[in-house]
Each structure stands twice: as C-alpha cells, then as structure tokens.
Structure 1
Amino acid sequence: MKKFYLAIIFSFNSVLVFAQAQTQSEFYTQLSIQADSLFKKKDFVRSSRIFTWAFRVNNWRGTISDRYKAACSWSMCKNSDSAFYHLIRIVEKGNYSDLEQLTNEPLLTPIHLDARWPMLLETVTENQLRAEANYDKPLKAMLDSIYDMDQSFKNKIATIRENYGYNSAVERDLTKIANSRDLESIRKVTKLIETYGWLGPNIVGKKGSEAIFNTMIKAHPNLIRKCMPDILKAVKVNIASPAQLAMFEDKLAVDMGQRQKYGSQVNYDEHGEWKVAPIEDEKNVDKRRAQVGLPALTEYLKTYGIQYQSYK
C-alpha cells in the first residue's frame, strides 16, 4: 500500500511539473503584467516582490524591461543590493546601453551615492559606444527627427485639448499641419522599408526603431498590408515586437469591419470621447494580450481615460 501511495504521489508530481513547464512562459507573462501594473501605481514594495516571483517561475530569466522596473522598485524600497543585482544583470548579460534613460531615471536616485553607481554608468557607456558603432547614422538622424516631430505634435495637441476641449478651432488647425507632416513621414519611412526592410534598434537605435512603428501604425491599411511581410520577418528576428504586430493586425481587422483581437484600436466618437472598437472573444482578450506582451486591457485603456469593464 505504501508503494502504491508513493506511485500516486510520483505520478501527480510528474504531471504537475509537466503542466508547469507547459505554462511557464505564460505564467511569467501574467506575473510580469501584474507587477507592471503595481509599478505604475507606485506600489514598489509589492511590484518588487511579484517581479521576483515572475523571475523565479521562469528559471530566473526575465526581460530587460522587467528587470529594469524591478531594479527601480527595489531602489525605491531602499534595497540597493537587489536594485544593482538587476541593473548589473541587464548591463552585463543584456548589453543594456540606454545611458540617457539610466542617468535621468528619478526612481534610481536613491542608489546614486552607492559606490557601484559610477562603475555601472561606465559599463553602460561602453555598451552604448559599441552599439552606436553599428548604427546607420544618416538613417538614425532622419528617424530621430521624425520621432521628435511626432512627439511634439502629440504634446501640443494634448495641451490644446486640456485648455480648449476636444475639436476646437485651434486643434483642427494644428491637426491639419500634423496630418500633413505625418503623410510626409509615412512616405519617407515607406521608402526606407522598401529599400532596407524593417530596421531595428541595432541599426537605427531605440528612438529610430520606435519612429518606424509610430509612423506606420498611422499609415493607410493598404500600405500596412504591403509592408506586412517585412513586419512579420522583423518580429521573427526580434527587431520588432509581437505587441507591435498585434496592433497592426488589429488595425487591419477594424479596417475590414471585423472585430479586433487585442483591443488596441480606439477612436473618438461623435462626442469627442475615446471608444474601444469591438473585440473578438472579449472574455479572453487579456490572455491574448499577455501572450504578445501587452498589458491588461483595463490598464491600457486607462491611458485614454476609458473606464473599461471587462467581459464576464
């Protein structure tokens, strides 16, 4: 009888281990999203703990973004050892090279007086110099300019809406100028993709890579369809993200009158309020979003001021 019980326990544990192996990546993603949500709420104590749990269930592996946020959380918890553990890991193993982000990060201020901080900055500087050696500087300069212009218009329009409300005469005038500049940027980026394919941060830097996505997500759906082979290839070789691909797929679906899969497409209604486009299989949308690295839909829509009630 004792042997029989042991056999049952062994079989149960084997199944449990297999189930855990099958869902390890998904479990990590779910925990990461939860930790990120707490991080955004400035609940650094709980976010640091849940990030640690996420790394643990994923054999202590984690994305650079998650480890960076974990480091910021530990820094704000006055735990410099844990903060530096994650920072050193992304710098030495992930070749993290964003010196500007690191030096201007207010959440890391509590560890600036630590003796390890200047050594960390020195290593990041070295990483940045190595990364920049591979940049196509003329293309990077062009894309950086597009990025800065896009952000400038977004900020100006946001300020106008705060002061004058939605769809004021001032906003309409500025939007016409912004749309004209967008068309010009779309032409430039489309020509770039046709010539070189989809360029990642290894060639044009982080800002330049974001400029390509930010520009093309505003392009006409037919143009996006034309670029989809390049986008798919870029995701396959990790120079574009599954999250970006998901947003392109949503835009194409909405354009065809279909329900979107990830809930990324929102538009202004006739009252000037943001409204999310209909979603396919809405009760599982957060599961799909997690699989491509997108935050929970409720959190995402808060950035648009939408109080979303998830499907039950």
Structure 2
Amino acid sequence: MKYFTILLVLLFMSCNSNKKISENKRNKIISELDYIEKIDQKYAGIPSEDLFKKYGQQKAWEFFLAKRDSVSNDNQSRIKKLFYKYGYLGFNEVGKDNTTKFWLPIQHADNDIEFQKQMLQELKKQIEIKNAKRNEYAMLEDRVAVNTNQKQRFGSQVTYNSNGQAVPRNGLIDTLNIEKLRAGYDLPTFKDYYNNMTIMHFEMNKEVLKKQGITEPMLYK
C-alpha cells in the first residue's frame, strides 16, 4: 500500500509538471512570487538599525531570527502549493527573473532537507532542458551538501575564518578543478566570489573585527 501511494504521488507530480498555465493564472503566480521574494529578502540579511536601537543587540537578533523562521516556513508552504499544482516553475512557465523568486525559498528551506533534495532532482531535469538557471542548481546542490555534512562541489556556501576571510563551508570536493566547475555552471570565479564575500563580511562586522586587530578585508590574491 505504501509503495502504491508513493507511485500515485509521483504520477500526480509528473502530470502537473507539464500542466499548461493560462495568462491569467500566470499573472497571479507571478504576483505570488513577487511577494515571496520581497519578504524573503527582507529577512535574508541582518536586523535593521531600527531594531538594534529599539531592542538592543541580543533581543534584536532574537526577534529577527524568529521572524525569519516564520517567513521561511510560510514561503515554503506557498512554494510547495505552487509546485504540486504546476510543477517546477522555470523559464517557460514564469520567465527567467521570476523563476529565481520560485527558487529562493527552496534554497533557504534548511529546516526541510528532504524538500531541498526533491527540488534538486526537479531542478536537474529543468537545466537539462534549458528551463532553469545552472547557477541555481549549483547553489542548491551545495546547500544540500552542507546541510547533510558533505563537502561542496562548487563552493557557493561560505563560512569565515578567524581573520574574517571567506572559506568554503565543509570544504571542497575538488579544489584543483573548482574554477572549471564554477564556469560550467555560470558562477563567478572562486577568487572574485570569495573576495566579495570577504568584503561584505568585513563591512557588516567592521567594529568587531577592528577590535580583533583586523583593519581591512583579507583578500585572496
């Protein structure tokens, strides 16, 4: 019975993956994706200065992270409903810009790794038919790897060493061919990406790093 149920779910998903979307429904979907992206990005960074002033450092972060978790769960629910109804929303369904809005909550669904894995397989199918962005597949693959305590293939997920320098979280599978791998999936060079992340980290944590004697970003040469 269990395997029969799984088969029915897969068949249902397969049918929906080719479902035609009317212009009216497409516009409604895009409006939904616009909302999802806006609220996702609002809580993707760090608390605002207003929150720090109102609550102080610790309370501001507690409030911000609780709100981010709530937003993430709501966005995941919205994306799942869209996926089970229409399949993966790629270029053909919603356009290049809007497919990224669909992908964002999947990338951020770290509390539902099985969902991320499922979407990774769907995204792989989409890039094979040129209906999704290769860099989004690479970043989701790395995210799943990190969330399952594995090394990354593309190095898109970073952490920071004691000098404030960006380093690959969990390490890389193949350091020698990292640039070739990244180029093949439309990612910027390793050096440019890691230098940009190092600079951003320095700017966001400048006062703390300066107290540690770090007065400028430590960049890769």
TM-score (norm 1): 0.49
Q: What is the percent sequence identity of the aligned residues?
A: 25
- What residue is the counterpart of 1:296 in the other structure? 189
Q: Which amino acid aligns with 1:298?
A: K
Matched, 1:266 2:189: no
Q: Does 2:43 correspond to 1:150? A: no
> CA distance change for structure 1 residues 181 and 246 in 2, over 3 Å: closer, same or farther?
same
Q: 2:62 aligns with which of 152, 162, 172?
A: 172
After superposition, where does 1:117-132 map in structure 2 within 5 Å?
A: none
Q: Deviations over 1:26-84 (max 9, x none)?
A: xxxxxxxxxxxxxxxxxxxxxxxxxxxxxxxxxxxxxxxxxxxxxxxxxxxxxxxxxxx
In the alignment, the residues of structure 2 paired with residue 202 and residue 255 of structure 1 have an alpha-carbon distance, to the nearest angstrom, of 30
Moved over 3 A (4+): 132-135, 158-161, 267-275, 306-310
CA distance in structure 2 between the aligned counterparts of 1:288 and 1:141, rounded to whole angstroms: 35
Provide the rounded CA distance (Å) in 1 between the counterparts of 2:176 and 2:87.
36
Question: Equivalences for 1:1-312 in 2 at 5 Å?
Answer: 136-154=26-44, 157=46, 159-160=48-49, 168-219=58-109, 220-267=112-159, 275-277=167-169, 278-305=171-198, 307=218, 309=220
Amino acid at match of 1:296: T
Structure 2, unpaired ranges of 5+? 1-21, 200-217
d(CA) in 2 for partners of 1:299, 1:191: 37
Partner amino acid, structure 1, of 2:193: Y
The amino acid of 2:130's aligned partner reads N
Partners of 1:272 and 1:182 in 2: CA distance = 28
Higher relative contact order, structure no. (Cα contacts within 8 Å, ≥ 6 residues apart):
2
For residues 303 and 309 of structure 1, the distance between their equivalents in structure 2, rounded to whole angstroms, comes to 10
Secondary structure, aligned partner of 1:212:
helix
Q: CA deviation at 1:141?
A: 0.8
Is the alpha carbon distance of 1:269 and 1:160 closer, same or farther for their aligned partners in structure 2, counting shifts above 3 Å? farther
Aligned residues: 177
After TM superposition, give the deviation of residue 284 of structure 1 in Å: 1.8
**Counterparts of 1:240 and 1:287 in 2: how far apart (Å)?**
20
Contact 2:124 2:137 in 1 (8 A): yes
Q: Which moved more, 1:201-210 or 1:244-253?
A: 201-210
In structure 1, how many angstroms separate the alpha carbons of the residues matched to 2:28 and 2:94? Answer: 9
**Deviation per residue, 1:132-166 (Å, 9 max, x gap):** 958701111111111111222336x26449x78xx
Letter in 1 for 2:196: T
Structure 1's unaligned 5+ residue stretches are: 1-131
Query: TM-score scaled to structure 2, two decimals?
Result: 0.67
RMSD: 3.3
Q: 1:168 to 1:160 in 2, by over 3 A?
A: farther
Q: Structure 1: which amino acid aligns with 2:108? A: K
CA distance in 2, matches of 1:221, 1:285: 25
Task: Report the CA distance between 1:252 and its aligned residue.
Answer: 2.0
